[in-house]
Amino acid sequence: MTTIADPKAPRPPKPRPARLTTRGNTELYGWVFMRASGVVLLVLIFGHLFVNLVAGEGVTAIDFGFVAGKWASPFWQVWDLLMLWLAMIHGTNGVRTIINDYAERDGVRLALKSALYLAFVLVVVLGTLVIFTFDPCPSGSPADLLPSFCTA
Amino acid sequence: MPDALPASATRKVPAGTLYRGREGMWSWVAHRVTGVAIFFFLLVHVLDTSLVRISPEAYNDVIATYKNPIMGLGEAGLVAAIVFHAYNGIRIILVDFWSKGPKYQRVMLWVVMGLFVVTMAGFLPRHLMHVFGGE
């Protein structure tokens, strides 16, 4: 007579993950940041799009003089700096989430996230340097390409 | 040894990838697609704007290559992606924090689509007139 296992017999314990919970609340803070920065970005980006694409001559007016005219004012420097940092952190965290969801192999995930973080650092550093070291009236440039206040 | 699990239990790809379908899933898909598209645009946008640091000529030359109908339509698509992502993002916040948010998530998606149509109706004619040379 064969013995049949008791259906209520305890199952062999599953191997436990090395850590039962993540350390700290990083993912929670990320979740809150996406919502808080999203609201601020809505205002910053809608304002950016209105001033650059709708007001005045719209997209046809964009040239060096237009950008220099804006960045001569600390108001637009701070606006664009905030937009750069918030949008890059928001976007990088969003793409990180998507990589975690779809890249199943550890190596692929590591490679994609390394490229993502490298792009983040390069773009944020470059953009920040450009906003702060920008000269609206570079010497030796033809005056018709520069904003009107350069010759005043 | 119970090593002969049916093939369906060991395949990596699930048989259906539609999750629950309908408005909830498709708005989530659209949020991801528009988000990734905006992110890659942003990388390029910071690089091209950085040309102002090289010289007025370098910046104006590259911007001049953008001033054609194909890029103008691309800008319209970019604005559409941003407007949807922005309004649907507000909807996500309301689903998360408003006590009645989950109950009205489907209604709120139709509000998002309505506001999207109104916003684009305000933006598109003016932008397309700039791009295609009208007044």
**Nearest-CA residue of chain A relative to B73?**
A59
Spell out the CATH class of B22-132: mainly alpha
Handedness of CA B71, B76, B81, B85 (dihedral sign): positive
Q: Which of B92, B90, B80 is nearest to B117 (CA)?
A: B80
The amino acid present at B125, given as its one-letter code, is: P
For residue A53, pLDDT over 60 is answered with yes
Q: Which of B77, B54, B59, B132 is nearest to A62 (CA)?
A: B59
For residue B113, pLDDT over 60 is answered with yes
The strand ranges marked E within A22-104 are none
Instruction: Tell me whether residues B56 and A142 touch, CB distance under 8 A.
Output: yes
With beta carbons less than 8 A apart as the criterion, state whether A86 and A41 touch.
Answer: yes
3 state SS of B37: helix
Q: Find the chain A residues whose C-beta atoms sit closer than 8 A to any C-beta of B.
A: 35, 38-39, 41-42, 45-46, 49, 53-54, 57-60, 62-65, 67-68, 84, 87-88, 91-92, 94-95, 98, 104, 119, 123, 126-127, 129-130, 133-134, 138, 141-142, 145-146
Handedness of CA A105, A96, B81, A122 (dihedral sign): negative
3-state secondary structure B87-133: HHHHHHHHHHHCCCCCCCHHHHHHHHHHHHHHHHHHHHHHHHHHHHC
Mutate to test the interface with B, among A42, A79, A108, A118 (most CBs of B within 10 A): A42
Give pLDDT, residue A24. Answer: 81
Instruction: Tell me whether residues B93 and A38 touch, CB distance under 8 A.
Output: yes
Dist CA A106 CA A98 (whole Å) = 14
Instruction: Tell me whether residues A91 and B60 touch, CB distance under 8 A.
Output: no
Domain boundaries, chain A: 64-150
Residue A67's Cβ-side half-sphere holds a number of Cα atoms within 13 Å equal to 24
**B89 part of contact set with chain A, CB < 8 Å:** yes
Instruction: Tell me whether residues A53 and B123 touch, CB distance under 8 A.
Output: yes
pLDDT tens-digit map of B1-49: 455 555 545 555 555 666 667 888 899 999 999 999 999 999 999 999 9
Q: What percentage of chain B carries pLDDT values higher than 90?
A: 60
Instruction: Tell me whether residues B131 and A57 touch, CB distance under 8 A.
Output: no
User: Which CATH code fits A64-150?
Assistant: 1.20.1300
Domain boundaries, chain B: 22-132
pLDDT tens-digit map of A67-97: 998 898 899 999 999 999 999 999 999 999 9
Out of B36, B53, B56, closest to residue A146 by CB: B56
ipTM (interface predicted TM): 0.81
Instruction: Tell me whether residues B43 and A119 touch, CB distance under 8 A.
Output: yes
Residues of chain B contacting A147 with CB distance shorter than 8 Å: none
With beta carbons less than 8 A apart as the criterion, state whether A86 and A37 touch.
Answer: yes
User: Residue A128 burial (CB < 10 Å; 0-12/13-18/19+)?
Assistant: middle
**Nearest-CA residue of chain B relative to A139?**
B55
